[in-house]
Structure 1
Amino acid sequence: MLRIGNASGFYGDRFSAFREMLTGGPLDVLTGDYLAELTMLILARDRLKDPQLGYAKTFLRQMEECLGLAVDRGVRIVVNAGGLNPARLAEALDELAGKQGIAVRVGHVTGDDLLPRAEEFGLPTGLLAANAYLGAWGIAECLRAGAEIVVTGRVTDAALVAGPAAAHFGWGPQDLDALAGAVIAGHVLECGAQATGGNYAFFREHDVTTPGFPIAEIQADGSSVITKHPGTGGAVTTETVTAQLLYETGGARYAGPDVTARLDTVRLDQVGPDRVRISGVRGEAPPPALKVGLNRIGGWRNEVVFVLTGLDIDAKAALVQAQLEHALDPRPAELSWTLARTDHPDADTEEAASALLRLVVKDRDQRVVGRAVSTAAVELGLASYPGFHLTALPGPGAPYGVFEAAFVDARTVPHTAVLPDGTHRTVPPAMTTGELTPVEPPPPPQQLTAGPTRRAPLGLVAGARSGDKGGDANLGVWARSEPGWRWLAHTLTVQKIRELLPEAAGLQIERHLFPNLRAVNFTVTGLLGEGVAAQARFDPQAKALGEWLRARHLDIPEALL
């Protein structure tokens, strides 16, 4: 068995988690995931200011506290904190170890940065970053060569777990089922406390004040048990694990550079308190292309929020919208108005009597979204609706980023493991690949026997977890019981999603059934516009999309309630 823990789900996660995981119980490997689509843009802007930057500085500070502890306990560290500059982070770790008088072997993985070759690959111009998603084998090579710390750039999140497992158990590229099992375990671990009760639909059932971070006990066949250190907060149940399995996934084929894992084969079993077994995962050959994350500056953005209080909210919103748009000269390329009716009738506080009207403007020219918008808004201060005021004075505008995905032939991307002794070892691409094709949808379960229904929120009988993939939103919904699944699978259709979530009504929606998980998974194409960095939507990462759905009312069988 190999015990792999996680201590970071994003750049900015709980700083103390590394120490907590190292001191909370036995571990063989401790991983940290720092990279997301938005993070790559942040690191790219760091690198523009200083070519020596471009990595997650938080990790280096964590190692200042914990390097000696990890070495003393024999825990290997595997993180993607290298970001856009893994070589420099590896150097900084060597320097840190020297200052602390600690002997430690550091390896790193490179090859993902395609920005210097953007023209060769036919990628768009004006990019700040272009990084291919590499797999697990560079990590495995470094560990096999004795590395105690491995830092990578852009690898798949699950590679942080699959790499150590492959190195420990001696797997090769042909061990697809074992690799797929490790990839699924890695997907569960990658977002930290989201697997142990964080951001969990039924959070009131557990003490999630300070949830612990997850651990995967991986076996030689790729199966695993998800758990956490004893005495830590949160919970590990089949439902907390289901929630994370559905997060930012699509159909049955979960593709990566090493293996395509079949989500429809995953089986979950509660085998003890805070212990969930993952088994039965099948693996298939990976696709021949690697995903490449592209980050660029999309233009300039500004925002003004008007406070509307008391009576005639809609008329007040219409007045100020007409006034401001008349005053804008030149007019920004994009204007988006959103009225949030947070007001309550006969409210006992002024804030509770107020609604918020939000204007977001975008343009390629900073002046058009900056001073022009700010001046137009401020000049209305004594000439608009009664009670006019803003949440804050508008600023000069700020650049916004755009994330896009491209795909390139995996054989054209160098994947290099830099071993602790400085040797560069080339990692070959997968020899056997397979094109991704849709899986034949499984038959729905037998429909629940008709009976009396009651109008109630969906969230009384179903959980949900949602997130972003570029401009698309992912929305996973699971039933809490077998009868609930029989009702959910027939009720929550694409058309019903369009009815319950009107913002998605005109968008392309894909639906996938996962009977083993009693879950329905949706992808809503284009809901998030140009992605999180563009801030096109009130909830730009669709984090709360699932909770909105759970709050919608529909006719639910009384037998389930």
Structure 2
Amino acid sequence: MSSLSKLISNLPNGTSNGTSYDTSDGTSKKRPVRIAGASGGFSDRQRAISSLAKLDVDATVGDWLSECTMTLHGAQKVENEKLRLEGKLLEEPAGLFDPTFLENLAPALPEIAGKGIKVAVNAGACDTQLLAKIVAEEVARQNLDLRVAYVEGDEVTHTVLRLIKEGNKFLSLMTGENLEDWGYTPIFAQCYLGGAGIAEALNNGADIVVCGRVADAAPSVGVGMWWHGWDREKDFDQIAGSLICGHLIECAAYVCGGYFSGFKRLMQGCHNLGFPIASLYGDGSCTIEKEPNTGGEVSIGTVASQLLYEIQGPLYFGSDVTACLEGVVMTEEGKDLVRVTGIKGLPPPTTTKVGMTAFGGYQAEFHIYICSIDLEAKAEWIERQIRYSAGEAVKELSCFKFSLNGYCPDNPRNQDVATCDLRVFVQTKNKKLVDKSTLDVPGFNRWCMDNGLQGCPGWTLGNDQRLSEGKVYYEYYVSLIPQSEVQHRVTLPWLEDMTIDILPPNCMKEYPRDQPSYETKEPVDLKMYGPTTRGPLGWVVGCRSGDKASDANVGFYVRNDDEWDWLRSLLSTDKIKLMLDEEYKGGKIERFEIPGIRAVHFLLRDHLDRGFNSTSTYDTLGKNVGEYLRAKWVDIPNGFLARGRF
């Protein structure tokens, strides 16, 4: 802690970072800090901060950003600046921060002030300073005494453009390609900051810390560093534990049953899943529980499921530390109470992740409904006709995709379940095409509409044509930027806008792009499990998947030790390729294991069609990759089935 930090934290209005308690060995240690996870994104419940503020918590953290929101906010910021320079900005645009945050926070402010609860969030997006100002105004309107700080430095557009001119190749984390081979020009760049700035703000008396693009888990890291006083140059195990603690609660109710493979047993309370509370100890271990009198559960299953979400390999990188996941252990200590231990830390990487946004072009889609038998033949009939109507314009399309979605079951029980969606999807860099073709209406819309009366049996037009109008889309590129190039800083407005620079750690390490990948050691003979039944893998195996740009991660887990030996022996890289079937595009697959939670993890490189804002598929976030694989049939030992299905 700097001398200035010590001075301010000792002022009458300063903040105590934890009380001490006597342990059985006679030593004095700080009690664990209780951190509530209030948001995993803009689509989360708005009640969270208010509900959690009524409980016994020391801090509330929340994540409101994603690659989707970073792209859209960044592109809009560039567009606003362009209009401003051209004199076409007729009125000041709305702030480019999460529009739901203040609505979530404001009702809870009296409780936050009364209990001394700290708040650290990344809701600032691309207008962090403005959001901090608006929060401070709301605090003043309610006549409360709360200090609002903000953390910046995540916007690195000018730095990235300079480094490109200096010859930096900015290799893609997904494909390994050079940025110059991407085919698009970056217009905005935002990097991921760690938790050290949040810790510094709290050390200097902040009550609410508003951030831009700090990593999802960084608020918990910052709270842990502040509360326990960890040294970021050497306390790697402790900080790594806080990083994983933050990862577990960053998506709010995910860890309490959201997206859980065993969701069917949670139906009774599914209308109101609880939000999580983590107790983060001085050694970096933590416990996870949920708010009382709510639905869902906290179990090894739900916590393991969230651990597996959006990880990339055995190493979990943050700007403050690198966490090793392979040794994690989870123990159920009571109802809705799971302890997480075994996380080991390594020095942080010399780089941090950076996402670049570029204008991609325009896209549109058209939907035709077909029904009954001969669906593939009907879809082919329609595709041939539409391609004919498009003519020479096809040459200017970067994507022209027909996908038949759904199937008609045998002897269907009603007409709706027998009906399928034929989706026609197009993308192009130019909205105006050859021969006066266009993605305006009529245009692409007309190519599809032309064929209605020449259509296959049952050709039915979707009754909402708005999607067939071309709209702007953006491409997203993920790479690494040196931490030394990032101007991480904290501003304390109540001290005449004093700014504190957060320098990178002195002890950093270079890591290769590809993480360790391996097949299982000493696989067992699957015949040893006796008679089997052919059925979906998901009958006995849970799974969780997610995205990082075009990479998809998939983690599988089981409930019992003998099932673990079976799972790790069954799920080889070659087996996953077979299970992916037509979804396997030939990309690299990386594999590792986490024995402590009986899990096998795979990273499917460049598996998704780009990212959320530009993908041509339904699974925009990779969340259904795992569910698709759980539906694949394998030989399941009858003894496992006798225990009951997920």
TM-score range, shorter chain: over 0.9
Match of residue 296 from structure 1: 358
Q: CA deviation at 1:526?
A: 1.8
Alignment of 1:55-204 (within 5 A): 55-122=97-164, 126-173=185-232, 174-204=234-264
The answer to whether the 8 Å contact 2:585/2:607 transfers is no
Residues in 2 aligned to 1:179 and 1:348: alpha-carbon distance in whole angstroms:
56
Structure 1 residues 547, 440: closer, same or farther in 2, change over 3 A? closer
Q: Given that residues 342 and 356 in structure 1 are in contact (C-alpha distance below 8 angstroms), is that contact kept between their aligned partners in structure 2? A: no
Q: CA 1:556 to 1:139, structure 2 compared with 1: closer, same or farther past 3 Å?
A: same
The correspondence of residues 4-19 of structure 1 with structure 2, limited to 5 A, is 4-19=35-50
The answer (yes or no) to whether the contact 2:50–2:105 under 8 Å persists in 1 is no
User: Counterpart of 1:306 in 2: which secondary structure?
Assistant: strand
Q: 1:509 aligns with which of 589, 602, 606?
A: 589
Tell me if the contact between 1:2 and 1:218 (Cα under 8 Å) persists in the aligned partners.
yes
Query: Residue 106 of structure 2 aligns to which amino acid in structure 1?
Result: E
Aligned to 1:400: 473
* Aligned residue number for residue 501 of structure 2: 426
Cα separation, partners in 2 of 1:34 and 1:557, compared to 1, 3 Å? same
Q: Contact 2:518–2:590 at 8 Å: present in 1 too?
A: no
1:379 alignment partner, one of 437, 444, 450: 450
Kept in 2, the 8 Å contact 1:226–1:276? The answer is yes
How much has 1:52 moved relative to structure 2? 5.9
Matches within 5 A, 1:411-450: 411-420=484-493, 421=495, 422-437=497-512, 438-439=515-516, 441=518, 444=521, 447=524, 449-450=528-529
SS state of the match for residue 542, structure 1?
Answer: coil
Q: Report if the CA contact (8 A) 2:75-2:188 is conserved.
A: no
CA shift at 1:204, angstroms?
A: 1.5
Contact 1:131–1:293 (CA<8 Å) still a contact in 2?
A: yes
Structure-2 separation of matches of 1:179 and 1:445? 34
Question: In structure 2, the residue corresponding to 1:265 is in which secondary structure?
Answer: coil
Give the 3-state SS of the residue equivalent to 1:30 in structure 2. Answer: strand
Q: Distance in 2 between matches of 1:176 and 1:11?
A: 32
After superposition, what is the alpha-carbon deviation per residue over 1:6-35, rounded to whole angstroms, capped at 9, x for unaligned? 111012211111111112x21100011001
Q: Give, in angstroms, the shift of residue 518 of structure 1.
A: 0.8
| Deviations 1:493-544, CA, capped at 9 Å, x for gaps | 1111111112025222111111112111111122212111113212121111
Pairwise CA distance, 1:260: 0.4
Q: For the Cα contact (< 8 Å) 1:467–1:474, is it kept in 2? A: yes
1:341 and 1:52 map into 2 onto residues whose CA distance is: 40
Matched, 1:282 2:344: yes
Deviation, structure 1 residue 440: 7.4
1:255 to 309, 317, 320: 317
Moved more, 434-443 or 375-384: 434-443
Q: Is the 8 A contact 1:294 1:404 kept in 2?
A: yes
Q: Distance in 2 between matches of 1:84 and 1:293?
A: 13
Distance in 1 between residues matched to 2:194 and 2:399, nearest whole Å = 39
Contact 2:518/2:591 (<8 A) preserved: no
Inter-CA distance 352–13: structure 2 relative to 1 (3 Å threshold): same
Q: Secondary structure at the match of 2:472?
A: strand
* Paired AA for residue 306 in structure 1: I
- Match for 1:493 among 566, 572, 575? 572
Percent identity between the two aligned chains: 34
Task: Give the C-alpha shift of residue 345 in structure 1.
Answer: 3.8
SS of residue matched to 2:635: strand
Residues 357-387 of structure 1, C-alpha deviations (whole Å, 9 max, x = no match): 1111110012343442101111212122122
SS at match of 1:360: strand
Query: Could you state the TM-score of these two structures normalised by the residue count of structure 1?
Result: 0.96
1:14-64: CA deviations, max 9, x gaps? 1111111112x2110001100100011232244344566211121122223
Hey, what's the Cα distance between the residues in 2 that align with 1:515 and 1:436? 24
Q: How many residues align?
A: 560
Correspondence 1:21 to 2:83: no
For 1:63 and 1:359, the matched residues in 2 are separated by 42
The question of 1:359 aligning with 2:439 is answered no
Contact 2:199–2:225 under 8 Å retained in 1: yes
Residue matched to 1:214: 276
The answer to whether the 8 Å contact 2:372/2:419 transfers is yes
Question: In 1, distance between residues paired with 2:161 and 2:271?
Answer: 49
2 CA distance for matches of 1:133 and 1:245?
20
Structure 2 unaligned runs (5+)? 1-31, 81-91, 165-169, 171-178, 433-437, 642-646
Task: Kindly provide the CA deviation profile for residues 332-359 of structure 1, in whole angstroms up to 9, marking residues without a partner as x.
Answer: 2211111123323443432222222111
Equivalent residue letter for 2:448? A
When structure 1 is superposed on structure 2, of 507-516 and 363-372 the one drifting more is: 363-372
Q: Separation in 2 of the partners of 1:57 and 1:355?
A: 36
Map of 2:67 onto structure 1: 37
1:534 maps to a residue whose letter is S
The Cα shift of 1:144 comes to 0.5
Larger radius of gyration: 2
Amino acid at match of 2:139: A
RMSD between superposed Cα atoms in Å: 1.8
Stretch of structure 1 that moved more, 273-282 or 207-216 = 207-216
Quote the residue 2:14 is aligned against.
none
Displacement of 1:78: 0.6
- Give, in whole Å, the separation in 2 of the partners of 1:269 and 1:445: 26
The range that moved more, 167-176 or 123-132, is: 123-132
Deviates more, 1:388-397 or 1:166-175: 388-397
C-alpha distance in structure 2 between counterparts of 1:62 and 1:143, whole Å: 21
**1:395 and 1:304 mapped to 2: Cα distance?**
5
One-letter identity of the residue aligned with 2:64: Y
Output one character per residue of 1:142-198: Cα deviation in whole Å (capped at 9) or x when no partner.
Answer: 000110000111111111101011001111111100000000100000111000001
Give the Cα separation in 2 of the matches to 1:131 and 1:45. 11
Q: Distance in 1 between matches of 2:384 and 2:636?
A: 43
Task: Give the TM-score of the pair, scaled to structure 2.
Answer: 0.84
Residue 555 of structure 1 is matched in structure 2 by: 635
**Which is further off, 217-226 or 386-395?**
386-395
Distance 1:460 1:311 in 2: 29
* Alpha-carbon distance in structure 1 between the residues aligned to 2:373 and 2:327: 55
- CA deviation after TM superposition for structure 1 residue 99, in Å: 2.0
Partner of residue 27, structure 2: none
Letter in 2 for 1:517: I
Give distance in 2, aligned partners of 1:53 and 1:128: 19
Give the superposition deviation at 1:472. Answer: 1.1
The answer (yes or no) to whether the contact 1:11–1:39 under 8 Å persists in 2 is no
Structure 2 letter corresponding to 1:343: C
